[in-house]
A = this chain, B = another copy of it.
């Protein structure tokens, strides 16, 4: 397949490299040039503009947020204006369901296809082609781009014919992580105030019922009280909490735990914690219980 790839961050460059390895003809575009050259050495064709990356069967975008995707998708020289009819835009970024719907409509109007395909996995998994792909979109183009997913991931879940559903599933995964952080924060505030060592407590949890990396990772951060440098910043967590609640509002689904988490992020930001790891909301319970706030600001 002839594939355009836009967005060569840690995740995107690894995914593009795997598409090359799988034998595809890949044209790459990135706002800054360094990553383009690296991939050119591996056989990719450099594109001078977004439009230049839109000449094949499919274009994949892997960008930071809604604004970045909007920036390359819309307007003169954007993806919608540049793709040929019948070709497909695959968005692997974590975007809002609302933007997924907007892209679905815009591409349909232009005679093109849109598939949302956010991924679960960190850069190491991307490099090893071990991502999990959560895909949603119409069946025919989904069939056509399945080789793309096979090249970058270990397994693809097609969750709906509506692209926005894939965005929602991805966001809900982040909500579940935040829920673990909040639950651990409350539990550790409780046992900690009773004199139990938080690291030992976490050891108990992860040795027994909660033997999952998400407990290990976030429990460790809360137990140590170390929230810098941020693996995923509190501002990004707050954004995702807002997107989850916006989607829930659009569907009339009350989510009280998501509301609680949203308020946690606001309290953290009000204390100057925007740049801390999002796990810092797990320190707010201990703060309310008489301890120190997660940051000195």
Contact = CB atoms under 8 A, between A and B. Distances in A.
B186 A257 contact: yes
B134 A204 contact: yes
Contacts of A18: none
A168 B193 CA distance: 11
A144 interface: no
A215 B210 CA distance: 9
B157 A200 contact: yes
Contacts of A205: 173, 176
Interface in A159-181: 159-160, 162, 164-165, 168-169, 172-173, 175-177, 179-180
A162 B194 CA distance: 9
A127 interface: no
A23 B257 CA distance: 50
Contacts of A134: 204
Contact of A169 (B204, B259, B289): B204
Nearest to A268: B252
Interface in A182-198: 182-184, 186-187, 189-191, 193-197
A253 B285 contact: yes
Interface of A: 97, 120-121, 132, 134, 155, 157, 159-160, 162, 164-165, 168-169, 172-173, 175-177, 179-180, 182-184, 186-187, 189-191, 193-197, 200-201, 203-205, 207-215, 242, 244, 247-249, 251-260, 262-264, 266-267, 269-272, 285, 288-290
Given A290-B252, A290-B271, A186 B175 contact: yes
Contacts of A214: 209-210
Contact of A186 (B155, B207, B255, B269): B255
A257 B264 CA distance: 12
Given A162-B194, A190-B247, A193-B252, 11 more contacts: A132-B204, A173-B204, A173-B205, A186-B256, A194-B247, A251-B289, A252-B270, A252-B289, A252-B290, A254-B266, A254-B267
